[in-house]
């Protein structure tokens, strides 16, 4: 049985841990609010470039681009967004498990796929399993700017245009609410659904110099904006997941402190009772 000193040490240690998890919960809650604001501020740009691109690509004109063409898939690139740190519940493990399962089911050889990682947890996961990583980036801030990933997104899109990859699939955690995030798998390239999505677009545009020239500029920017939007979405999910995990850890610390306090009081009461018994016994022996 643990001594009173041991129990007291565990109580103090758990209280210190609780202080840390409670502080991390509050920090994550603050970061989540900022991440939601950043995502909302990006929406107008995302919606407008989507509308223009859909209008051009789905207009039925002769506009054409390699990013719109479906070809035989000889090599697939998986763009995986994770966090740089842990203590976020199942935020990283869920998406990594789904990517790993997808690769195992679909590919027989490492030559058939490559991986692009955004986040240290994903990079380390695939490196430990000796899986091919083509590009990687870590250290993205909690409220990222497009400049931080501009080079990575440009290189990724150019890989498809240059036919080094034939398909680009992104995996990330989609933010639904503070307590709910959904693992999302989305094929980014080729862009095959623009005609369908342009049916609801009511705006009409005049193009200078012509639709093809504008499409050549806008399509890569559009694909890059989809990646950046997924990153913002993932960051909000990360903060929400970490906030929930730290709240659970704090609640568990409270429960553990209560249990240890009860154990401590019982042990202390038993010790006092034992001392009284010994005193009474000693007094009786002297009579």
Backbone angles phi, psi at 86, to 5 degrees: -90, -145
**pLDDT tens digit sequence for 223-277:** 999 999 999 999 999 999 999 999 999 999 999 999 999 998 988 888 888 878 8
Over pLDDT 90: what percentage of the chain? 62
Give the pTM. 0.86
Map out the domains of the chain with their CATH numbers. 26-244 (3.40.1380.10)
**pLDDT tens digit sequence for 259-268:** 999 998 988 8
Q: How far apart are CA 163 and CA 67, in angstroms?
A: 10
Phi-psi sector, 80: left (phi>0), alpha (psi -120 to 50), beta: beta
198: tokens are 């342009």
Q: How far apart are CA 250 and CA 245, in angstroms?
A: 9
The answer to whether 153 and 226 are in contact (CB under 8 A) is no
**Cα end-to-end distance, the chain, whole Å:** 35
**pLDDT tens digit sequence for 11-64:** 999 999 999 999 999 999 999 999 999 999 998 988 888 888 887 766 555 557
Reply yes or no on whether the pLDDT at 153 is more than 70: yes
**pLDDT tens digit sequence for 89-113:** 899 999 999 999 999 999 999 999 9
Tokens 């929400």: give the residue. Answer: 240
The answer to whether 223 and 157 are in contact (CB under 8 A) is yes
Would you place residue 195 in the very low, low, confident or very high pLDDT band (cuts 50, 70, 90)?
low
């Amino acid at each position: 049985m643990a001594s009173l000193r041991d129990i007291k040490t565990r109580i103090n240690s758990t209280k210190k841990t609780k202080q840390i998890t409670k502080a991390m919960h509050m920090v994550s809650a603050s970061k989540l609010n900022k991440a939601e604001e950043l995502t909302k501020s990006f929406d107008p740009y995302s919606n407008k470039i989507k509308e223009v691109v859909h209008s051009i690509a789905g207009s039925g004109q002769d506009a054409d681009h390699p990013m719109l063409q479906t070809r035989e898939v000889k090599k697939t690139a998986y763009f995986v967004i994770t966090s740089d740190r842990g203590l976020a519940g199942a935020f990283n493990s869920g998406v990594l498990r789904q990517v790993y399962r997808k690769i195992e089911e679909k590919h027989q050889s490492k030559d058939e796929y490559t991986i692009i990682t955004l986040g240290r947890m994903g990079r380390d996961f695939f490196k430990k399993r000796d899986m091919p990583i083509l590009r990687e980036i870590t250290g993205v801030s909690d409220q990222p700017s497009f400049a931080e990933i501009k080079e990575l997104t440009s290189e990724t899109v150019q890989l498809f245009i240059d036919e080094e990859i034939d398909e680009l699939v992104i995996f990330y955690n989609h933010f639904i609410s503070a307590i709910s995030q959904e693992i999302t798998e989305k094929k980014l390239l080729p862009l095959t659904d623009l005609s369908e999505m342009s049916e609801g677009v009511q705006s009409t545009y005049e193009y200078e110099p012509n639709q093809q020239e504008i499409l050549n500029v806008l399509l890569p920017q559009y694909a890059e904006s989809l990646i950046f939007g997924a990153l913002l979405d993932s960051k909000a999910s990360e903060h929400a997941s970490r906030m929930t995990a730290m709240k659970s850890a704090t609640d568990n610390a409270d429960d553990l402190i209560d249990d240890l306090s009860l154990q401590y009081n019982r042990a202390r009461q038993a010790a006092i009772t034992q001392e009284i018994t010994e005193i009474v016994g000693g007094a009786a022996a002297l009579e």
